[in-house]
A = this chain, B = another copy of it.
Amino acid sequence: MTETIKNLGEQGLLKIFRQYCSEVVGDDAAPMGGTLTEHQMVVTTDMLVDGVHFSDRTTSPEDVGWRAAAVNLSDLAAMGAKPWGVVMSVGLPSDTTVAWIEGVYRGFSECLRTYGTELVGGDTVRSPIRTLSVTAFGQVPQNQIIQRHTARVGDAIVMTGLHGLSKAGLELLLHENLQEKLLANLKIGNCILSGKALEQAICRYHQRPTPRFDAIALLHKLLKQHNHLKDFPISGMDSSDGLADAIAQICRASQVGAKIFWRSLPIHRAIRILAGDRALDWVLYGGEDFELVLCMPFKLAEPFVHQLPNSAIIGEIIEGNQIDGLEMRSAFQHFAT
């Protein structure tokens, strides 16, 4: 018989939780190590609900856990912060299998470890629907917070990686016929990766997003080289709700417009194959790529994209409130359906 949370009981569930938790859980709150001298704390929180933000159909429990961590860590990276600690509460129906929640904790911890942080506390409750709620704290040196309201006319708009691949991964996981379409079309072309390996790599974009702390580290290196640590001419956010949404939000918050370099906007070949006429739509509105969209002077942006693979300068901040050709709709309207 498959073991469920109901058989396990609360104490059993707590035992599993503790295996993945750094602190001696047992007090009412978890003490956090470290101090904040000359640093500021930032905090972010996300709730993930079964059937809304994840599904057994497309996501293994390990990937659900990884994503729950990565989504929050990406928010910290987007602020220029280093992760300091994370808490996760889970709401579970009694018939949830133990294997599922263990998988979630495993993937969650794996992601935290990869980016140098850990689970410091949490809560486990009964709920009719599987729900994960994650809060992550980070620290960032005073005056080096990346925010979205400080973009300036003349800044380059930089994206740290390709967009549309998370959407492509989701579509591949949902529709078998697309897998065939991809493989058939790749055979015609000249591909370094085998078709199957490419397909898996694309699915991983959806299942295992990568918080871009590497891009922040490179940024700090360049800011130091260019003596820009004090004035810190960087603004931006992550592209969790889509590339178009990120550009639009930065422009709105900074009261500026943007010119997009449409010809320089990279579109992965697999997206052209899978999406056909809608390739640009996937890139702009696909969402959940968890790249960073950063605005900075061109003289910083050029060495930045030179040193960061798959990054690109995709536009420029201009006066006004227009974004040329970009449809100003949000990719996700969570309550519309």
Interface of A toward B, CB cutoff 8 Å? 5-6, 8-10, 13, 24, 26-32, 35-37, 40-49, 51-53, 74-76, 78-79, 81, 85, 87-92, 94, 120-129, 131, 133, 135-138, 145, 147-149, 237-238, 249, 253, 330, 332-337
Contacts and interface: CB of A to CB of B under 8 A. Distances in A.
A119 to B, nearest CB: 11
- Copies per complex of this chain: 2
Nearest to A332: B10
B32 A41 contact: yes
B29 A42 contact: yes
Given A32-B42, A47-B123, 19 more contacts: A5-B335, A6-B335, A28-B78, A29-B43, A29-B81, A31-B40, A31-B42, A43-B120, A43-B135, A45-B135, A46-B123, A47-B89, A49-B91, A49-B126, A52-B127, A125-B334, A128-B128, A129-B131, A133-B133
A47 B131 contact: yes
Given A9-B335, A133-B89, A135-B87, A28 B125 contact: no
Given A43-B87, A335-B5, A335-B10, A29 B128 contact: no
16 contacts: A8-B335, A9-B335, A26-B253, A29-B78, A30-B42, A31-B40, A36-B37, A43-B120, A45-B133, A46-B123, A47-B90, A47-B131, A49-B91, A49-B125, A51-B128, A89-B133
